Amino acid sequence: MITSSSIHGMTWLKDALPRLGTPGSRSAELHDDRSLDALPLSPSELQRFIILRWIGTVGSLLMGFGALGAGAFPVVNNPYPGYPGGGFMARMLTTSSIITLIGVGFLVLAWVLMAPFVSTTLAVPIAGTASNAHRVSMNMLRRTFVAWVLPIALTAPLFTQDIYSYLAQGAIVANGLDPYSAGPIDLLGPDNTLARSVPFIWAHSPSPYGPVALMFAAVISHLTDNSIVLGVLAHRLLSVVALVCAAWGVVKLAGRCNVSKQAAMWLGILNPLCMLHLIGGIHNESVMLGFMIAGIEIALRGIESKGAPAWLLFALGGALITCGGLVKVTGFIALGFVGMALARKLHLGGKGPLTAVALAVAAQCTILIVTTAIVTAASGIGLGWITGQGGAATIRSWMSITTDVGVISGLIGGWLGLGDHTEQMLAVSRLVGLVIAGGFMLRMLLATFRGRIHTIGGLGAAMFVLVVLFPVVHPWYLLWAIVPLAAWANRPLFRVLTVLYSAIMSFFVLPRGLRLPPETVVSIYVGAAIIFALLLAALWWLLKRRGIVGLH
């Protein structure tokens, strides 16, 4: 049995996340928010919420407009508005970047100030008494999602050049080539328009994504005839649909965990990191999370049901989770936690603990193998993704704790005259990090089996530790944990830390997704901060003049 001593340094999680206890038990998890019918907002509260939604929508519109000058454009055949070269282009890039970051500021501001309308802190209600919770309706939040997503979905790519890798890899698969054998430049040729727009670091690297992601990319390549604009819009549409599926799963899972559905929707789906990087940046995390979260909900329905339909639901949920893993392999982790939920049910039904776990593992392995075989046959893509997962490890990400430890250790060794052993230290520190994350994950699996933590809570906590200790970390990677935890973790400390992280990290990537000269970066951030402050002051004055004293 793995104890807390095996994950020394991780015990602080018990303060940031709800206490482990019997799922659904009021005394065990000490929920602050309850899935009770909330009273409608008062007219003044509703007015303030609508103003906040409009502020966020204006932010999205500014991002959509700014992206046309500061977005992540392709290297050749740029279909978006272009500008003359020289100093004028540099000024337009700076101006457009400032407009985009001001939009980010308004979106983040609106999201943060919506907290009181979705996550009212309550004492545990006394039986027979009414709750005085005032929360905005789910329909209002859905309309907010549409209003914030639409302007971003219809503009140029933002914050990353990765979409051009997706387009090139889709063309590779559509042409019947093996995306795991070489990089886009090698397979499509140096003169191919799509290949030339792939970021240099990925130009000669095999695809790091699974066959489901590549199958979607190949279908888009066929449908759009490799058009850059249509391809970007098609991938955006896929990201939006996937995020909607994740939203459905999060809301349903929040109901299971007695967590405010509005709070879960707000924290996990309306999160600025989702808007900016899953929709604006079109990252494959959206597809992975859509399959994974929806699959967990469906699988849990199967576990709770009886008879043949129950096993069909469980198999369908497992297949969806597997498809998430066939986008990015971290999605497979959810299979383990759903499997432990099944093992717990079998154990409570009279099976011995080892027998129950063995049966659950056998069921999940069968679903995994069958689903992978079907996807492989349908897509015509081989199994190169199994051995092609190490490409991203060549990146030295400053957000990765284990990478920082390895790099700093290598530098210290060099200063001490021991030679440059940075690569060796990186290998050791990253391996140690993954071992610790694996130990914590095993602990969460055992807690799920014992009923001390809900399936989605165990998954979210395990994902959090994995991301913290992952060899490569980008700002949106923590969504692997935030989205599932939004449906379960409701302690104020967790929500505050999540809001702080999401708000701060929303500004850490420039709209173009590429490095710029330091003086340009400073001018962009300083200009955006000054103009945003002036606009915010003007907005506050206007609201006070109209009798809306505050947004709280």
Mean pLDDT of the chain: 83
Task: Report whether 291 contacts 321 (CB < 8 A).
Answer: yes
CA distance 267 to 354: 38
- Whole-prediction pTM value? 0.84
Bridge partners of 39? 134
For residue range 133-150, list pLDDT tens digits in order.
Answer: 557 889 999 999 999 999
Please report the pLDDT score of residue 199 as a whole number: 82
Encoding tokens for residue 217?
């990319």
Closest listed residue to residue 17, CA positions, set 259, 261, 277, 245: 259
Q: Lowest-confidence range among 33-42, 53-62, 418-427?
A: 33-42
Residues in contact with 322: Cβ distance below 8 Å, sequence separation at least 6, in sequence order = 295, 331, 332, 335, 367, 368, 371, 372
**Which pLDDT value is given to residue 472?**
83
Q: What percent of the chain has pLDDT over 90?
A: 51
What's the mean pLDDT in 389-393? 56
Residue 134: what pLDDT?
Answer: 52
pLDDT at residue number 28: 32
pLDDT of residue 85: 42
Contact status, residue 403 vs residue 426, Cβ threshold 8 Å: yes
How confident is the model at residue 520, as a pLDDT?
Answer: 84
The answer to whether residue 1 scores a pLDDT higher than 50 is no
Which of residues 103 and 186 earns the better pLDDT score? Answer: 103
Query: In this model, does residue 10 exceed pLDDT 50?
Result: no
Provide the pLDDT for residue 74: 79
Q: What is the pLDDT of residue 77?
A: 60
pLDDT digits (tens, 9 = 90+) for 465-522: 999 998 888 889 999 999 999 999 888 889 999 999 999 999 988 888 777 788 888 9
Closest-CA residue to 152 (of 52, 246, 290, 59)? 59
- 11 pLDDT band, cuts 50/70/90, is very low
Q: How confident is the model at residue 71 (pLDDT cuts 50, 70, 90)?
A: confident
- What is the full DSSP assignment across 236-261? HHHHHHHHHHHHHHHHHHHHHTT--H
- In this prediction, residue 130 carries a pLDDT of 34
Residue whose token pair is 């049901």: 305
Lowest model confidence (mean pLDDT) among 95-104, 370-379, 382-391: 382-391
Q: Which residue has tokens 């799922």?
A: 23
Q: Around Cβ 442, how many Cβ atoms within 10 Å?
A: 16
Q: Quick one: pLDDT at residue 380?
A: 86
134 phi/psi in degrees, rounded to 5 = -115, 110
pLDDT at 38 over 70: no
pLDDT value at residue 34: 40
Could you read off the pLDDT of 136-193 as tens digits, one per residue?
A: 889 999 999 999 999 999 999 999 888 999 999 999 999 989 898 888 898 888 888 8
Dist CA 552 CA 294 (whole Å): 33
Burial (CB count within 10 angstroms: exposed 0-12, middle 13-18, buried 19+), residue 9 = exposed
Question: Above 90 in pLDDT, residue 541?
Answer: no
Distances (CA, A) of 250 to 259, 268, 453: 10, 8, 17
User: To 10 degrees, the CA torsion angle through 151, 157, 160, 164?
Assistant: 150
Cross-strand bridge partners of residue 134: 39
Query: Mean pLDDT: which of 218-227, 384-393, 542-551 is highest?
Result: 218-227
- Report residue 170 as tokens: 């889709």
Structure tokens of 525? Answer: 């951030």
Q: How many CB atoms are located within 10 Å of the residue 541 CB?
A: 10
233-237, 278-282, 316-320, 426-430: least confidently modelled range: 426-430
Rounded Cα distance between 417 and 411, Å, is 10
Quote the percentage of the chain above a pLDDT of 70. Answer: 83
pLDDT exceeds cutoff 70 at 12:
no
Give the range among 56-60, 82-86, 156-160, 247-251 with minimum mean pLDDT: 82-86
Question: What is the structure's pLDDT at 333?
Answer: 95
Token pair for residue 421? Answer: 């052993």
Residue 386 confidence (pLDDT): 81
Say if residue 263's pLDDT is above 60: yes
Q: What is the DSSP string of 41-102?
A: PPHHHHHHHHHHHHHHHHHHHHHHHHHHHHS---SSS--S----STHHHHHHHHHHHHHHHH
Give the model's confidence band at 549: pLDDT under 50 very low, under 70 low, under 90 confident, else very high.
Answer: low
Q: What pLDDT, on a 0 to 100 scale, did the predictor assign at position 116?
A: 87
Within 13 Å and on the Cβ side, how many CA atoms surround 283? 20
Q: Return the number of other C-beta atoms located less than 10 Å from residue 373's C-beta.
A: 10
DSSP code of residue 134 = B
179-213 burial: b if 16+ Cβ within 10 Å, else e:
bbebbbbbbbeeebbbbbbbbeebbebbbbbbbbb
Confidence of residue 317 (pLDDT cuts 50, 70, 90): very high
pLDDT (0 to 100) of residue 394: 61
Alpha carbon distance 532, 97 (integer Å): 13
